[in-house]
A and B are shown apart, each in its own frame.
Chain A
Amino acid sequence: MPLPMTPLAITAYTASSALGCGLAAQLDSLSAAHSGLRPNDFSSAPLDCWIGRVDGVETCTLPATLTAWSCRNNQLAWLGLQQDGFLDRVAAARTRYGADRIALLLGTSTASIGATEEAYRRLDADGGFPDDMLRPAIHAPHSLTAFVGAALKLEGPCLTVSTACSSSAKVFASAARMLQLGLIDAAVVGGVDSLCDSVLFGFNALELVSRSRCRPFDAARDGISIGEAAGFALLERVEQAPEAPRLIGYGESSDAHHMSTPHPEGLGAELALHEALARAGVDAAQVDYLNLHGTASQKNDAVEAALVNRCFPAHTRASSTKGFTGHTLGAAGIVETVIALLAIEHGLIPGNLGSDCADPDCGPSFAWRNEWQPVSVALSNSFGFGGNNACLAFARGEVAA
């Protein structure tokens, strides 16, 4: 097991999801137990399902110097960057450290593949991309990170992590390592994934999409609701902001089992959890809140419920928030990190929205309704296709030494 890590301050964070844009919108909907899911109204041939769509993406225009980056995913990224004063916080860090001392590490599963899909729908008579889509940078999976790098004027290490649905959790680990080595003084991390036909029809082909609103950990759960989201966080050394919430641990592992179903005993998930706890220097019993991956797929939830039952006492509260936001895929890690940070900041344990009839395999840790209590240590689970697992640990500013 790894040694405890030096905690890092999370000096700014924001998320935009089906719950709305910015932290206040997330908190309001979570507090009111109000889901952001809606019947699918996306694409020209909408599947019969529910989605977590962000309002205002289509009308969000990029700054004039950045219009070559225009596409749904980058517009969602820009919408997200403008919330909660995040742009100003990054600008201040840029002044403090220099643009080349700030890394940009973002996670995405499909980046702007929606733009490539569009190009294929509008091929020229000669079979080529239409002129307005001949923009190589938006057809690469690095599109999101390259765009955000240009928008934030950052010149440090710049990397896209794309490990399916663990992507924007793993960027926290990359940032922690680069800070530990002194390669950088700060990092902008996060992720964006947006609705597109690839994921809607792809998950549908795998028979993983529910026709109704997703019901995580429900006895009758029958699949996911796909969502979109953008989220970002600024990581700095704790001395910069001792009062800020902290990243105190991360764990990463591989299931080595199957490309699209989790290890039946949750082997990889448990490895990632124990690694995160070891780096955080805390026991499972010290965890107040665990935000679960909880996709509402049959297998994920069965494996994860068993993991909660065997690793945590009843006073550790656990819930999935996919019933609020949908499964935001590569953005799930940052969205649920933000929910964990809101739990710490506001003492809100969001209930496991969407389940009316709990799976009897879920133990006493499950918070089915909102609970209000102090949260000092919170974890977030994120698992992706390919058996790629990540677990992040966060703490209130004054808790970690």
Chain B
Amino acid sequence: MNALQVHVEGIGLWSPQLADFDALRAVLDGGAVTPWGGRPAASLLPSNERRRAPESVLLAIEVAGQAVAMSGRQAASLGSVFASAHGDQTITDYMCSTLAQQPHALSPTRFHNSVHNAPAGYWSIATGCHAASTSVCAQYQSFGAALLEAISQLLTAQAPLLLVCSDTATGPPLREVTGCRESFGSALVLAPRAGPSSLARLDVQLGREPVVSELPEPLASWRAGNASAAALPLLAMLARGNGRCTVAASDRSHLQIDMESII
């Protein structure tokens, strides 16, 4: 099968150590990692929504906003794929605790924020976007599986698309089974054709077995602490400006991605 070819136009990134994609570049260039903490700004959300929105929504909207701003595209024009391995674990913890103790006290707002497509819903409302939006997961392979879905959508529609993959940190007891120690989110604006805002061309091939690229520290630790940080091999390659990487697309397959820099 021929490689699937897509162009990267925008990159968003947020973790407690990385405010944006430039911060990852600085780390890869040998800069010190400085935890800067704070909540994702998610400045695209109206301030009242920003106060009420759960952290999973803030994280997804922060990285989505960064990527769309870099691309120069109108957010309302983009279809989207939002991925998360575990959804909003803070809400899962709240709901399961409440249901175990006082089920009738369950908060209606927290319930509607618990749907896996809550970040996509907030995003479409904040940006006035009526385009199709898909919210997906594939546990530890959520990023690769979502990237394949995103490529499949944008190549068949021949239109640019926003891909977001993010998971928030959680505490015990849920952390025992999700392994999410630190929040991590990334986003890409991808386009079917080269254009004035293209940063890189990616040639993507689906292969057998869940092969994944090795990563240097601290990236390897970050990847081990959040399922959505499985995007790091691709993000690091984009930061370096060339190369090849692999990410798992399921527990039986991977995507091999070759990059050609355009700028």
Chain A interface residues toward B at CB < 8 A: 2, 45, 100, 109, 113, 116-117, 119-121, 123, 127-129, 134-137, 139-142, 145-146, 149, 155-164, 170, 173-174, 177-178, 180-183, 197-198, 201-207, 252-260, 267-268, 271, 384-388
Contact = CB atoms under 8 A, between A and B. Distances in A.
B124 A141 contact: no
B134 A161 contact: yes
Contacts of B106: 201-202, 204-205
B199 interface: no
A386 B121 contact: yes
A209 B134 CA distance: 26
A159 B149 contact: yes
Contact of A268 (B118, B122, B130, B134): B130
B28 interface: no
17 contacts: A100-B252, A117-B95, A117-B100, A120-B97, A120-B99, A140-B177, A141-B87, A162-B137, A163-B120, A183-B206, A202-B106, A202-B112, A205-B108, A206-B111, A252-B133, A259-B121, A386-B120
B99 A197 contact: yes
A194 B179 CA distance: 25
B60 interface: no
Interface of A is mostly: mixed
Given A158-B251, A159-B149, A254-B132, 13 more contacts: A45-B103, A119-B96, A120-B99, A120-B100, A129-B173, A136-B177, A140-B86, A159-B138, A183-B206, A198-B95, A204-B104, A254-B129, A257-B125
B257 interface: no
A338 B132 CA distance: 23
A180 B157 CA distance: 11
A197 B101 CA distance: 12
B140 to A, nearest CB: 9
A385 B115 contact: yes
B208 interface: yes
Contacts of A170: 134
Contacts of A180: 156
A160 B137 contact: yes
B4 interface: yes
A257 B130 CA distance: 9
Nearest to A206: B108
A128 B135 contact: no
A259 B113 contact: yes
A256 B152 CA distance: 23
A386 B249 contact: no
A251 B64 CA distance: 24
Contact of B136 (A100, A123, A160): A160
Interface residues of B, number: 67
B104 A157 contact: no
B112 A206 contact: yes
Given A119-B96, A129-B173, A142-B142, A155 B252 contact: yes
B1 interface: yes
Given A100-B253, A177-B153, A256 B128 contact: yes
B162 to A, nearest CB: 12
A205 B110 CA distance: 10
Interface of B: 1, 4, 85-87, 92, 95-97, 99-100, 103-104, 106-108, 111-118, 120-122, 124-125, 127-139, 141-142, 145-146, 148-149, 152-153, 155-157, 172-174, 176-179, 206, 208, 249-253
A326 to B, nearest CB: 18
A267 B131 CA distance: 12
B183 to A, nearest CB: 17
A372 B148 CA distance: 43
A30 to B, nearest CB: 29
Contact of A140 (B1, B139, B149, B252): B139
A130 to B, nearest CB: 10
B120 A139 contact: no
B116 A163 contact: yes
A384 B117 contact: yes
List of 10 A-B pairs having minimum Cβ-Cβ separation, nearest first: A386-B121, A202-B111, A162-B116, A252-B132, A120-B96, A158-B250, A254-B124, A205-B108, A155-B252, A142-B139
A260 B108 CA distance: 10
Nearest to A104: B250
A256 B111 contact: no
Q: With a 10 A CB-CB cut-off, give which of A158, A180, A254 has the most chain B CB atoms.
A: A254
Given A137-B139, A140-B85, A158 B252 contact: yes
A142 B252 CA distance: 15
Contacts of A203: 111
Given A158-B252, A177-B153, A163 B133 contact: yes
B173 A384 contact: no
